[in-house]
Amino acid sequence: MAQVSIRNVALHFTSRRVGTVTALENLSLEIPDKQFAVIVGPSGCGKSSLLHLVAGLTEVSAGGCYVDDEVVTDPGADRGMVFQNYSLFPWLTVRKNVEFGLSIQNISADQRAQRAQHYIHAVGLNGFEDAYSSQLSGGMQQRAAIARALANDPQVLLMDEPFGALDSQTRTIMQELLLRIWEREQKTVLFVTHDIDEALFLGDVVYVMSGRPGTIVDSVGVTLERPRHYEMVTSSEFIELKRRIMVNLHREVEQAMMQNQEHLIG
């Protein structure tokens, strides 16, 4: 069980240079157990900040994040995260990276190796166990980062534009890979992306965020059947959903840009 609740959350940043920035305001979101929730929103609306809040890496300014009704105060191994920038530990091999979380929990070397091998296999990195991250392509690094997060068996998986830096072919392959793994593991996922196709292809529900200060302006249930296949992106159902999100998002992006302009002029 891992139900994520975000209740009336606000987040302000205060710095001397720009004063107080309200990144998130009055944001609420209920993500049921085992849901694949996707968040799309204009750049700078606070998507990464939201994931950081759920991960416990940043403190809320108001409201609270809850996992199974327990308030989040600190980061913990129950909420794994995959970052947009490749965040493998460069001094560790792929195997040691994947084992990292397990070694913190004092799990026996045998079991560690077995679990690591399982996930290295699941993301298709066999043969690269002893490679360092500098020897891997971007897609491979991101696969290793996913394996590292999964090997720790978190209840909630937070993914911040994990495929944002990949080319479109690699991206498609990674999306399918992620879905196959998710179908087996059945975790609650909170996935952030810019890409509407990606959002619809992966998600059970797509939440659309407004420009800063970010709140949820629309939630779109994705009725496409599972398991999903890439041909679905051309189905009329997919295109209908895409139109709805695009209209919403376009409006938000436009407003966000106008606001910024006013901000600059005024």
Ligand X SMILES: Nc1ncnc2c1ncn2[C@@H]1O[C@H](COP(=O)(O)OP(=O)(O)OP(=O)(O)O)[C@@H](O)[C@H]1O
Q: Which residues bind another protein (CB under 8 A)?
A: 52, 55-57, 75-77, 79-81, 83, 85, 87, 89-92, 100-101, 104-105, 132-135, 145, 148-149, 152, 154, 158
Q: Between 66 and 132, whose beta carbon lies closer to another protein?
A: 132
Q: Show contacts with ligand X in window 2-31 (CB under 6 A).
A: 13, 15, 21, 23
Backbone angles phi, psi at 28, to 5 degrees: -130, 145
Q: Residue 236 belongs to what H/E stretch?
A: helix 236-265
Strand order in the sheet with 216-221: 79-82, 156-160, 188-193, 36-40, 205-209, 216-221
Identified binder of Mg ion from the candidate list 5, 48, 93, 133, rule CB under 5 A: 48
Do residues 72 and 19 make contact, with C-beta atoms less than 8 angstroms apart? Answer: no
| C-alpha separations of 246 from 29, 208, 250 in Å | 21, 10, 6
Is 47 one of the binding residues for ligand X (CB under 6 A)?
A: yes
Q: Show contacts with ligand X in window 195-234 (CB under 6 A).
A: 212
- Residues across the chain: 266
Q: Between 152 and 210, whose beta carbon lies closer to ligand X?
A: 210
Cα–Cα nearest to 24, from 6, 45, 52, 48: 45
| C-alpha separations of 98 from 80, 103, 142, 205, 212 in Å | 12, 10, 12, 29, 36
Q: Between 9 and 123, whose beta carbon lies closer to ligand X?
A: 9
From the CB of 6, what's the least distance to ligand X, in Å? 14
Contact segment (CB under 5 A) with Mg ion among 48-56, 151-159, 172-180, 218-226 equals: 48-56
Is 138 one of the binding residues for ligand X (CB under 6 A)?
A: no
For 112, half-sphere exposure in the C-beta direction (CA atoms, 13 angstrom radius) is: 15
From the CB of 44, what's the least distance to Mg ion, in Å? 8
Is 64 one of the binding residues for ligand X (CB under 6 A)?
A: no
- Judged by the rule CB under 6 A, the positions of this chain that interact with ligand X are 13, 15, 21, 23, 41, 43-49, 212
- Judged by the rule CB under 5 A, the positions of this chain that interact with Mg ion are 48
